[in-house]
């Protein structure tokens, strides 16, 4: 399968890149847990979400994959039909002594995607591109719900936020050609118009969290 089959490879104008809103300040982090932790987010095509979090200080690994459906349907050609229950997602491993879960949420909501777009992101349409947080424990669930409520109270977005907060069940790695896609294909039109602006926004909005890779 050609590497250009994923997401929607039609060019969009630079103006369609997600506008970075003024996001709420993260709550004071609780004492850091020992060891590595994992966050699972879905926010449209996994290429751009993976690229953004790959540049966040304290993130040790980011993997593109599928979450929300079954193992038997966890392949791109099946997921792209939009009827598997899967969402294109990213699994983020991070060191909580360097970057907290609320800080990852702040990046997710203000840089990585637009949480007001229901079942689409930019040129990509379908439930596989929905906005979702797959929480791994009650602490993550409470943090996500509190963050959503704070954004609503602060009226960060003029449109309703449609992000799902649902329990994590399983994550299935995407095919190898999807991994580190932006790094391997920096000049592809889809990347230039849709994903590079997100990484640039991360560097501008959170310079203290940004790392070159």
pLDDT at 34: 59
Helix (H, G, I), strand (E, B) or coil at 158: coil
Among the listed residues 45, 87, 133, 144, the single catalytic one is 45
pLDDT at 35: 85
131-135 and 37-43 strand pairing: antiparallel
Average pLDDT of each block of 10 consecutive residues along the chain (213 residues)?
A: 50 34 35 75 98 98 97 96 97 97 98 98 97 98 97 96 98 98 97 98 97 91
Name the maximum alpha-carbon separation found in the chain. 46
Helix (H, G, I), strand (E, B) or coil at 51: helix
29-205 CATH, one of 3.30.1060.10, 1.10.340.30, 3.40.50.620, 1.10.3720.10: 3.30.1060.10
- The answer, as to whether pTM is greater than 0.75, is yes
Q: Annotated catalytic, 7?
A: no
């Amino acid at each position: 399968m050609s590497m250009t089959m994923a997401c929607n490879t039609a060019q969009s104008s630079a103006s369609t890149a997600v506008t970075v809103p003024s996001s709420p300040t993260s709550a004071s982090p609780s004492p850091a847990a020992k060891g590595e932790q994992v966050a699972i987010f879905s926010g449209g095509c996994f290429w751009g979400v993976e690229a953004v979090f790959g540049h966040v200080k304290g993130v040790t690994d980011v993997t593109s994959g599928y979450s929300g459906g079954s193992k038997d349907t966890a392949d791109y050609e099946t997921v792209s039909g939009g009827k598997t229950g899967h969402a294109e997602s990213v699994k983020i491993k991070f060191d909580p002594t360097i970057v907290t879960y609320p800080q990852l949420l702040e990046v997710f909501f203000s840089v990585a995607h637009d949480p007001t777009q229901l079942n689409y992101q930019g040129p990509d349409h379908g439930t596989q591109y929905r906005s979702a947080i797959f929480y791994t424990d009650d602490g993550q669930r409470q943090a996500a719900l509190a963050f959503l409520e704070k954004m609503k109270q602060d009226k960060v977005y003029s449109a309703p936020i449609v992000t799902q907060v649902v329990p994590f069940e399983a994550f299935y790695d995407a095919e190898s050609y999807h991994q580190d896609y932006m790094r391997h294909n920096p000049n592809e039109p889809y990347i230039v118009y849709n994903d590079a602006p997100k990484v640039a926004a991360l560097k501008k909005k959170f310079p203290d969290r940004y790392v070159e890779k």
